[in-house]
Structure 1
Amino acid sequence: MTLQIDTLAYTNRLRQLPPEHKLLFAIALLLLTYCTRAPIQLAIAVWLSVWTVIYAKIPAPIYFRLLSIPIGFWLTSLPALIISGVGLANLSSVQADVWQGAPWGSYYLYFSHHGIHQAGELAARAIASTACIYFIILTVPFTEILDVLRRLGCPTLLIELLLLMYRFIFVLLRTASELWTAQQSRCGYRTWRLWMKSLGLLVGQLLRRTLENYRQVSLALESRGFTGDFRVCHSRRYQPSRRYSLEAFFGCAFLAALAGWQYAVGL
């Protein structure tokens, strides 16, 4: 999936737009997400989905599969948010917050009105903020993000660390895939006991091979006179789109005005 995401970042239909425009657009919407309430957050998520799936031509199954990840985390936290309990003697103090409930021993378990409202707000914010992050990940290659950070004056050490971490993600995935395939071919996951043993061997070998690969990369850099600064070529010429720029500007302005109206009327 990570390799596929990286491929989409280089081949999407918004690839020709300047990366700083896309970053500014996504960051502005991310800030709006944290300053607004559920209806506007859902509108941001839908609007960004249009940008990602329709404008950038990211395959809808891949996008919604990625979007299901935060939804899955939200579902796991749902019981803790909406289910509350209180002693039967104190039931009258929470009666206004009870939606549905039933006694269980000396306690009363119930679905909380406040918890349901809180869960809804959390879901809207999580989906909207994740849509902002996915827009960046799926439309802006990581090297271009680093280039923007470099031009903004971000410390060189931080940029180099990010580049190395990004490089070793692919090394880690390739090594894990090779080890997994080798173990599967030898029926290493046939039973639960073999599954646990094979998983432990995989993690140990993965660490060893990753460290060995890192040592080889370090030796290769030293042999080529590495001075502590990675240079990445950016020969691609970008083509700003007036139509996309206007849509992004007026859309953000409309959402900001709508958020201000919401707070003014107390919705």
Structure 2
Amino acid sequence: MFAIDQYAYTSRLRPVHPGEKLAFALVTMVICLASVSPAAPLAVLLIMTGAVLFRAGIPWRFYLKLMTLPLSFLIIGVLTVAVSISTGPPPPLLSGRTLGGITIGFTAASLQLAVLLFVKSLGAVSCLYFLSLTTPMVEVISLLRRFKVPALFVELMSLIYRFIFVIMETAEKMYVAQSSRWGYASIKTAYISLGQLVANLFGKSYHRSQALFTALQSRCYNGDLRVLETPRAPSRSNIMLIAAVDLFLAVLALYTGGGLIARIHP
């Protein structure tokens, strides 16, 4: 089981109705992505981080580790937006150089856009982490069934989610076996071992997935995976708190940048 799933099952927000957590995460993410100023995404990031750390009781070291995972992709993406390249008349640059008729540098507009995309991405990621760290996957799938999502999509989602654990477990066992034989003692052997691991992972994972599917069929699997659901009643106080927080974020987004209205009426 992934550490994320372990924390989802032991979170202090586990007893909360999953629909409330799903609605809070999705609505807050929409507000974060619709904002045209960094104030609302920063507020979303702070609120979600506080909810995960102090309300759900997730260790801050683990949460910080999760937040650093997408940073490499974000930094690369933000740099491509921040750097301005021009072959015509050079734009007003804050810093840059012209080489062979090509001007490369940073403008105020490109830096503002890069900062906005960066905080938007972190805010949206924090919303997803809030949902995944407080709501087990089986409850999310149960909600999708209640929302009348096509059964084929739900079953594929459930099976793929379970097969992820099969692939991770297989890769971990292969890595431990290679490490015990000094497969990663040097950079050269590490590359060779990694190539062998990737090459053999698909075959072993496919074999394990077939064994898992055979086990499901032996238990009368007919294309519908059902799990035991714990009935939970929605909380009026939680709904009011969610509405108040999202209303605050929406007002902040509109006040600081105009939100989507600024795109329609510049």
Tell me if TM exceeds 0.5: yes
Q: How does 1:50-199 map to 2 (within 5 A)?
A: 50-87=50-87, 90=88, 93-96=89-92, 98-199=93-194
Preserved contact between residue 8 and residue 58 of structure 1 (Cα < 8 Å): yes
Whole-Å separation in 1 of the counterparts to 2:104 and 2:151:
55
Alpha-carbon RMSD across the aligned residues, in angstroms, is 2.2
Matched residue of 1:94: which SS? Answer: coil
Moved over 6 A (4+): 264-267
Q: 2:18 aligned with 1:24, yes or no? A: no
For 1:207-264, what per-residue CA distance to the aligned partner results, in whole angstroms no more than 9, with x for missing partners? 1221111221222233333221111111x34364444332211111122233333429
Corresponding residue of 1:260: 254
For 1:8-55, what per-residue CA distance to the aligned partner results, in whole angstroms no more than 9, with x for missing partners? 000011111000010011111011112213111111111111111111
- Structure 1 residues 79 and 226: CA distance shift in structure 2, 3 A: closer
Corresponding residue of 2:5: 6
Preserved contact between residue 70 and residue 126 of structure 1 (Cα < 8 Å): no
- Paired AA for residue 11 in structure 1: T
Matched residue of 2:258: which SS? Answer: helix
**Which structure has more RCO (C-alpha within 8 Å, separation ≥ 6)?**
2
- Structure 1 residues 148 and 104: CA distance shift in structure 2, 3 A: same
Deviation, 1:62, is 1.2
Whole-Å separation in 1 of the counterparts to 2:158 and 2:91:
55
For 1:91-123, what per-residue CA distance to the aligned partner results, in whole angstroms no more than 9, with x for missing partners? xx3342x10123435544322222111101101
Whole-Å separation in 1 of the counterparts to 2:108 and 2:31:
26
TM-score, with length taken from structure 1: 0.89
Deviation, 1:72, is 2.3
Moved more, 22-31 or 187-196: 187-196
Whole-Å separation in 2 of the counterparts to 1:231 and 1:107:
61
Matched residue of 1:102: which SS? Answer: strand
Preserved contact between residue 39 and residue 252 of structure 2 (Cα < 8 Å): no
Structure 1: where are the runs of 5+ without partners? none
Corresponding residue of 1:238: 232
Whole-Å separation in 2 of the counterparts to 1:144 and 1:56:
17
Moved more, 107-116 or 27-36: 107-116
Matched residue of 1:101: which SS? Answer: strand
Whole-Å separation in 2 of the counterparts to 1:202 and 1:140:
33
- Paired AA for residue 23 in structure 2: L
Structure 2: where are the runs of 5+ without partners? none
For 1:152-204, what per-residue CA distance to the aligned partner results, in whole angstroms no more than 9, with x for missing partners? 11111111111111111111111111110110111112333322221222123
Percent of paired sites with the same residue: 30
- Paired AA for residue 48 in structure 1: M
For 1:61-112, what per-residue CA distance to the aligned partner results, in whole angstroms no more than 9, with x for missing partners? 111221122332221233322223345xx4xx3342x101234355443222
Whole-Å separation in 1 of the counterparts to 2:54 and 2:246:
18
Whole-Å separation in 1 of the counterparts to 2:140 and 2:15:
14
- Structure 1 residues 255 and 224: CA distance shift in structure 2, 3 A: closer
Corresponding residue of 2:42: 42
